[in-house]
Each structure stands twice: as structure tokens, then as C-alpha cells.
Amino acid sequence: MLISTIAKDTPLVEVTLRRYEKPVAIEERELVRKLCLSLGVLQPGDSRDVMVDVLCVLLHNRSHKMDLSSEEVVKEVIAYRKKYKLEMRGIASSNVRRQLRRLREIMLVEKIFNNYRIAEFGKLTDLLDEKIEKFLLSSILQRVKEYAFHVDSHFLKHPQPQENKICNEEAWHKGDALLN
């Protein structure tokens, strides 16, 4: 019984978006780090930020229109981390492949014949518009609206008993009094 509940509560798609201050005079790695934080593929305060390096490597290779195998991504990530004098944390090939998968899930990266690249070597702004905003977000919002519709129809069919409504109104006014 518990297993079926877990499966039902597992989201089909999950997107986290965060808003930060405007990017002004930020160096390359920090700029990509803020993008990763904004897209929810990196958590605030997370010291394991190899995701930033993976995305930087793919962005650098985009201009050369080069696909990279996961092993090549690992090698370039190690070189990139050395360049910035960062600890060699999170550089295991299994972890880098997981970061590549996460970038694929939000449709920024595509895998072609076991090689990875920024989707269609495109601009991130175009990918965000076409893939995330128009496809992912619209499908998520549509499903949320379906749930809202069903919740509304359920609660409108089954009005709240009068005595609970009065108690809730009293609690509301008491809460109002506490705020004042």
C-alpha cells in the first residue's frame, strides 16, 4: 500500500525557478553559477557546485559546435576547476553524468550518440523561451489548473458546514486582532 502512495506522489516533471539581482559585472563562473541557481539545478549554499563547471564546459564547446562524451566533459571539468583553483570535489564520472542528465531534464542539453552538447548549439535565451517557458512551464501550469479545477468543483459541491464556517470566521478575526 505504501509503495503505491509513493509512486502517486512522485512528480512527472519538477521545475524550480529563483529570481536573483540583475547580473552586473560578474565574472564568467559566477554568472553561470547564478544561472544554475536561478534554474534550480544548484541549491543555494551548496559547496558541491560541479554543475557550474559542467555547464561552463558545454557553453565553451558550443561556440566550436563540438559534442563531448561524458569522459571528455569530466576531463574538461577537471581542467576548468584547476584553472579556478577549486577543490576537485564532485568530479567523479558518475556525478558528472548525473549533472548532464539533470541539464537534459530541463532541456538545455541534448545527448546524441552518447555525446552531449547545448541543445542544437542554441542560445540559452532561445532555449529558455522555446523549451522551458513554452513547453515545460505551460504543461506544468496546465496540470496545476486541472487540479485547481477539481479542487474547486469538489469543495463547491460539498459546502463547509455552517458551524465550522462561523468558527473559521472567528479564528480569522482573532488572527486579525493579533496582527493589529
Amino acid at site 160: Q
What domains lie within the chain, and their CATH numbers?
2-122 (1.10.10), 131-179 (no CATH)
Phi/psi for 136 (5° steps) reads: -65, -55
SS3 109: strand
Distance (Å, rounded) from C-alpha 66 to C-alpha 85?
25
pLDDT of residue 171: 54
Please check whether residue 52 is in contact with residue 36, taking contact to mean a CB–CB distance below 8 angstroms. Answer: yes
What's this model's pTM, rounded to 2 decimal places?
0.77
Please check whether residue 77 is in contact with residue 117, taking contact to mean a CB–CB distance below 8 angstroms. Answer: no
Distance (Å, rounded) from C-alpha 44 to C-alpha 26?
17
pLDDT tens per residue across span 116-172: 999 999 999 999 999 888 888 999 999 999 999 999 999 997 666 655 555 555 555
H or E element in which residue 115 lies: strand 115-118
pLDDT tens per residue across span 53-100: 999 999 999 999 999 999 999 999 999 999 999 999 999 999 999 999
Instruction: State the cell numbers at 158.
Output: 460539498
Please check whether residue 8 is in contact with residue 28, taking contact to mean a CB–CB distance below 8 angstroms. Answer: no
Residue for grid cell 486579525 = 176
Instruction: State the cell numbers at 19.
Output: 529570481
R_g of the chain computed on alpha carbons: 23
